[in-house]
Every structure is written in C-alpha cells, then in structure tokens.
Structure 1
Amino acid sequence: MPYAFKHVPMDFARAFEEGESIRLGTFGAYSRMEGMRSDRSEGSQRNYLTKEISETDTDARMALDQLYAIQFSQNVENLHINNVFISNSYERKLIFCMSTQPDFDLCDREKLAVFRIEVRPFLEEIVKAHHYLGDCVANRVVYDKRDGDISKGEARSFNPFQKPQKFEWEKEYRVVFSSDSGENFVNLRVPQAANSIRRTFRTPEELRAAGFEPTD
C-alpha cells in the first residue's frame, strides 16, 4: 500500500517527524510488552500434541514429521515441553509497526500524534542509511493466527504477518527486516526519511492548534 500511519507518543513526535528517531523493535521485545497490545505469541508459533498418536494415525504422524521438517529447514529455535512445540524463528528479527488507518480515539486516550507515511520512499531511505538491517518486506497483518493441533493433523509454521483475531483493532501494517538484532529496540537516525512523513489531524481545529493552516 502507498501510505500507512504511525502513532507516536507526543514526547517523541517532533524527533520522529524530522527523522531523528525512528524506533524498530524485535519480535521478542514486542512479545514481552504489557497492556492491551500484549501478544505473547509474537515471533513464535505453537503446535500442541493433545493426545497420544497411535501407529495407525497417519495424519497426525505426518503433521509431526512436517513440523520437524519445517523446524529443521528453517534452522529455528525450538522448545518442546509437555507436548507443546514452540517455534521461535523470528525472535531477533526487527520490525516496524504502522497502521492501515489513523486511530484518533487512541491518540486522545494515550496522547499520541499520528503521521501519514509514504511507505516505499520511507523504507528505501532507512535501508540506504542503515545497510546492516538487510532487506525488508512490508505487508498487512492478517488476524487469523491460531495454535496448531498435531493430533488433528495440523502443523502450523510461523507467519510474521499473522496475529490472533483479538488484535484486529490494531489494523497493523508491518515491516520485517531480514537481519537479526542483539538489541531489543533500535533507534535510527534517518533525516532523509522526513520527506516521507507528514503529521495528520482529525479536524481543521486540531491543525490550527498545532500551528498549521488547513489546506484543501
């Protein structure tokens, strides 16, 4: 999509608008956030084994084999405890979260400023200024993520653009960078990206209060 929206705390709005502080975070860091955005499944996919698999249960055995094949081919970090298989393949990948539309009610509640971002040139400037981030992929988040049940022949692999349905209110548009990060959060300075950032207001009155005049 050509445009997306970023909600930023007022204290950091000016720095973000000028490209002086653009914050990326890892899947792992976001999975440990508190509050209404808390999603413990960020960066991982759970598959449960809810019952013993019999010799004749070919679907379940194929699902279990598929799960091991996915984990082996992707070289992911795995955890297997009490018949819960957790794939943590994106724990250290950096992401940048935006929204497909502005949420002015959220801005009022949490004292946020909202910016319209021209996505392609914005990301091009970030990658150009910080080569270590590698390539990036951007897409809308789909809210249909759920755990897999190996006993029923399901083996779900991790999709970085999936979240559980209860987070659909976020209307997230997400950017995933290819390089791993040893830091939970990274603050980037990319002044050239400021050309792709423009603050958005709900009403002409809000625009004037911020010191601007409305234009058609």
Structure 2
Amino acid sequence: MVWSPFRRRRTAPGLPLPGRCASGRHVLATERLLLFTPRTRLDVVAALAASADAEAQRWLGTQADEVVPDAGIRRALLAWRPAGDDSRRIPRALAEPYTPAPDDPLLLVCVRRSDLSYAGALELQHRAGELGGWLAPGCRGQGLGGELFRAGLELAHTHLGLVTVRAGAEPGNTASRRALARAGFAPDQGPRRHTLPDGRVVDAVWHRHDTAAAGRCH
C-alpha cells in the first residue's frame, strides 16, 4: 500500500505518530485519518459511540452492554477530542489510561487529521484474520470508508504479518461493500449466514485481500 506522506504539522503534538508503534500498540495514517490504539477510556467509549446509532447497529449488531444508547451522550462523547489534545478537561473516569488485553480483538480508534474529531474505529480479529470497521455518523458518505479499510490492510499485512485478511458484510450493505472494493478487497467464498454479536443471524458475503510481502512493525 502507498500512503500520502504524513505531515506532522497537521496533527497535534500530543497524538501518537505513525512509525512509533510499541508493544501491543499501533499507529498509522491515511490522507485524512489518524488511527491508533486507544490511550484512554475516552478513546474507547468514543469509538463505541461512533457505531451506536440505529443505522450502524442495523449492520453491526453490537452486544447491548457495548452500545451507548442515549443519542445526546453519543453526541457529547464525539464532541470531545482525544484526551490531552484540546483545552478542555475531561472527566477523570474517561481520562484513565486504557491498556488492551492480549486476547481482545485489536481495536484502533480513528480521528480526522484536519480537526482531531473522533471519526470511527477499526477492529481486527487478529487470530482469525477478520477485519471490521465503522465511521461516525458525521463521517459517512465522504469516501472515508475506503481509507479506513486500506488502513486495516496496512495494519494486518505490515504491522501484524498476516498474509490474508477477510471481511464480511450483508449483501444489502452497499456502502461497506463499496468501501472494501475501493480498499482493494476482492470477492471471496465463505459462509452464507453469519451470527452477529447480538445473536441475529444475517445473510453474508465475503471479501479478502492477500499479500506476498507481509511484515511486522517494530
């Protein structure tokens, strides 16, 4: 994958920089997005808030205890900037450091590089090599989905050493399927039915991306 050069001046100095990955933590960038392993609880709950509206949950089916149900709270969370990167003091509970568990799916929160607003997240089941992602309501319909999934491929192929990455979607989820195609995914065979985290069973189509040059970040 070829990315636009990352310009440090476009990102607040407190945010992590691409190329500065650490053990269990990753950072990468696209033209308009910065993606990184959550540093605080705010990063995590903002990522969940970005996917908790009815439109997103129609496709994602997140477990009820991971959904932010109140629309006002979701808007408030998405109005914050990553902790320490704007002038406001966030509640102490949300400022607590976040440490990912080794067996959890790999989560990267993403922000817009232009204004540092929370934009969505990537989730990679690294043992199965399956990728998912979502965008906040205000970030949809702008071509960011392709960037998000291209970042997911970079994460999987060049940070984690995965040769093959797969992604599933419902046949009617044309926005996600187009974004996967723009990212370079090709149609693949897979189970025709899929069980979402909330227990719903849906139709599924599958996509995959392979590389001959897998590697790992430092």
* Range of TM-score over shorter length: under 0.3
The normalised TM-score by structure 1 is: 0.23
Q: TM (normalized to structure 2)?
A: 0.23
* Structure number with higher strand proportion: 1
Higher relative contact order (CA 8 A, sep 6+): 1
Q: Report which of the two structures shows the higher radius of gyration computed on alpha carbons.
A: 1
